[in-house]
Chains A and B, each alone.
Chain A
Amino acid sequence: AQTVTQSQPEMSVQEAETVTLSCTYDTSESDYYLFWYKQPPSRQMILVIRQEAYKQQNATENRFSVNFQKAAKSFSLKISDSQLGDAAMYFCAYRSAVKAAGNKLTFGGGTRVLVKP
């Protein structure tokens, strides 16, 4: 079974600065998808960014970008120009591209991001 590990329980960043969240995963598969979800205090799970394992190019969505290192099984999220609204829990998630493995998102334990004004 795949596992997803987020080693940083909490990260603090000054407004307008950059913060990087770490995520590692364990899998024997070669084709899969990786996601970062944001959970603000409202509890809503919001998809921030996704990455296809077969693509070498790192995904970017506005101020959010990832550093995908397939060999190292690492998938970090960088938040640039941090804003107060970025304060939330961030979850890394894995999904197999193999249909036989089932349609499941496996989540890491989460990292809480605090933004200081």
Chain B
Amino acid sequence: DAGVIQSPRHEVTEMGQEVTLRCKPISGHDYLFWYRQTMMRGLELLIYFNNNVPIDDSGMPEDRFSAKMPNASFSTLKIQPSEPRDSAVYFCASSLGWGASNYGYTFGSGTRLTVV
């Protein structure tokens, strides 16, 4: 299995621009998570989906952030407009079912976002 695939690996954008991060979960996994990692705040859960439905988006920082999962094999995290304080590493992770989550999640390699 190719694991959780995120793209791009690095993204540099100018303040005010729209940024879209992409994630392909492991085939068959029905949970998908978006995390953000910063030096100041560590690893924070932004949102997670179950069977393509958003379950908890309480971690989404502002209305500028939105996430979608149009099908079981693809999810996006969009920031519009982007700001320098959005600079972080964004991780996508997936898990096979509630019970399997007891064994942890599989993480992608992350997207390092830099907003200048």
Is the C-beta of B89 less than 8 angstroms from some C-beta in chain A?
yes
Residue of A nearest to B95 (CB): A103
**B45: which A residues are within 8 A, CB to CB?**
104-106
Q: How many residues of A contact B (CB 8 A)?
A: 24
In contact, B55 and A103 (Cβ under 8 angstroms) = yes
Q: Min CB distance, A60 to chain B, in Å?
A: 16
Of B93, B102, B104, the most chain A CB neighbours within 10 A belong to B104
Assuming A52-B102, A103-B101, is B42 touching A45 (CB within 8 A)? Answer: no
Stretch from A10-18, A21-29, A65-73, A94-102 at the B interface: A94-102
In contact, A50 and B56 (Cβ under 8 angstroms) = no
Q: How far is B107's CA from A33's CA once the two chains are assembled, in angstroms?
A: 18
Give the 7 A-B residue pairs with the shortest CB-CB distance, closest first: A45-B107, A107-B43, A47-B104, A109-B42, A43-B110, A103-B101, A33-B102
Tell me the B residues contacting A by CB distance below 8 Å: 31, 33, 42-43, 45, 48, 50, 55-56, 89, 91, 93, 95, 98, 101-105, 107, 109-110, 112
Tell me the A residues contacting B by CB distance below 8 Å: 33, 35, 37, 42-45, 47, 50, 52, 91, 93, 95, 97, 99, 102-110
